[in-house]
Amino acid sequence: MIEFRFVVGDLARTSFAYSPLQEAVYSLRCWCDPARYPHQRPWLRRLGPVFRQQDTELLTALIAPSLWIPDFLTPRPDRPRPAFAEQLRALGRTPPHVLVSDFTAAYATHPLPPVVRRGLTDPAAFLARVVDALAAYWRDCLAPDWWPRVQTVLESDLAHRGKVLAEAGAGGLFASLDPRLTWNGEVLTLVKKFDRHPWPEADIEIGGRGLVLIPTMFALGAHTNIDPVLPPLLCYPARGRATISETPPPATGEALTRLLGAPRARLLHLLREPASTTELAHRLSVTPGAVSQHLSVLYDAGLLTRTRSGRSVRYVRSELGERLCG
């Protein structure tokens, strides 16, 4: 059982974020245990040849047999939408002694693999190798197509959780993240039932530090850091993570296709969840300019609404668009 203890003001400091670095590191679990993440299998098949050209000895050793990961590899995001490059630069500043303690904790019930055991004899050089390996893995395997799809899912999750919080309050929000979470107004309790790899029990004082809630594609349930002394965070399964395996859907509904044309009908069906022009272009494998033209027509016709999120504009079906799709 893990308990997060809140004091006055802590709930107001609770926030959401997602982490490209965390998702990159967590994705390595797929290569270690593919059966655990069936929705990622199409990507594993596609990326397999490129992945095998990476520093696979090291990358797969970052994941312990229990699927635990050294905490320094998944630091708490310092803002809602950090860039992978800036997170990697921060990772490169990790004190060398932290590598020793974090790998020891992650491999607590298993022997360290040879590449890690050798590396920890010179932690600074080993950290540089870890950073280089992750940079190459991101550049070659994840950034071109995989991350834009994942980012779409994570953005949609944040939009949904914000709506749940507005409509159901903190209790409804926490319950929506994982049915094993309970909230009594002061303590958020996570009971780890029937877990394949039981997490250490912890009693975590938020104590004015704020709790960050992080959606991920690679969790079967909510979890937190191995070390309860670190700044508090709670990772939870992202809503809609299985859609990562989808190919662009065909335009369905013959009448809707005749009315709008296949490209606009397909876009309208995709926009059951908010998405940006760039995200839709990646999903459909077309140019952002082509998507933008169709979005403008659908928006002007009243079939979409739009809101600004940071530097991007996100579209979603309006009430009229929902009825038309129905």
pTM above 0.85, yes or no: no
- 175 vs 8, residue with greater confidence: 175
Q: How far is CA 245 from CA 21, 38, 240, 241, 274, in A?
A: 21, 9, 11, 9, 18
Q: What is the pLDDT of residue 128?
A: 97
Q: What is the pLDDT of residue 251?
A: 44
CB atoms inside a 10 Å sphere around CB 224: 21
Return the axis-axis angle of helices 262-270 and 288-300, rounded to nearest 10°. Answer: 80
Residue 120, CB half-sphere, CA atoms under 13 Å: how many?
16
| Closest of 269, 254, 28, 271 to residue 138, by C-alpha | 28
CA 106 to CA 64: how far, in whole Å?
6
Pairing outcome for strands 212-216 and 233-237: parallel
CB atoms inside a 10 Å sphere around CB 179: 11
Give the total residue count for the chain: 326
Q: Domain ranges in the chain?
A: 2-16+149-242, 20-145, 247-325
| Phi–psi pair at 308, nearest 5 degrees | -90, 135
Asked if residue 196 has pLDDT above 60, the reply is no
Instruction: Name residue, tokens 């975590």.
Output: 204
Q: What is the pLDDT of residue 125?
A: 96
| Phi–psi pair at 287, nearest 5 degrees | -80, 150
CA 192 to CA 181: how far, in whole Å?
9
Asked if residue 244 has pLDDT above 60, the reply is yes
CA 298 to CA 259: how far, in whole Å?
12
Band of residue 212 on the pLDDT scale cut at 50, 70, 90: very high
Question: Which of 5-14, 264-273, 304-313 shows the lowest per-residue confidence on average (mean pLDDT)?
Answer: 304-313
Asked if residue 250 has pLDDT above 60, the reply is no
What are the structure tokens assigned to 234, written together? 């709670």
Burial of 294 (0-12, 13-18, 19+ CB in 10 A): buried
Q: What is the pLDDT of residue 142?
A: 94
Burial of 285 (0-12, 13-18, 19+ CB in 10 A): exposed
CATH for 247-325? 1.10.10.10
CA 86 to CA 92: how far, in whole Å?
10
Write the pLDDT tens digit of every residue in 44-103.
Answer: 988 999 999 999 999 999 999 988 999 999 999 989 899 999 999 999 999 999 999 999
What average pLDDT does range 160-167 have in this prediction? 89
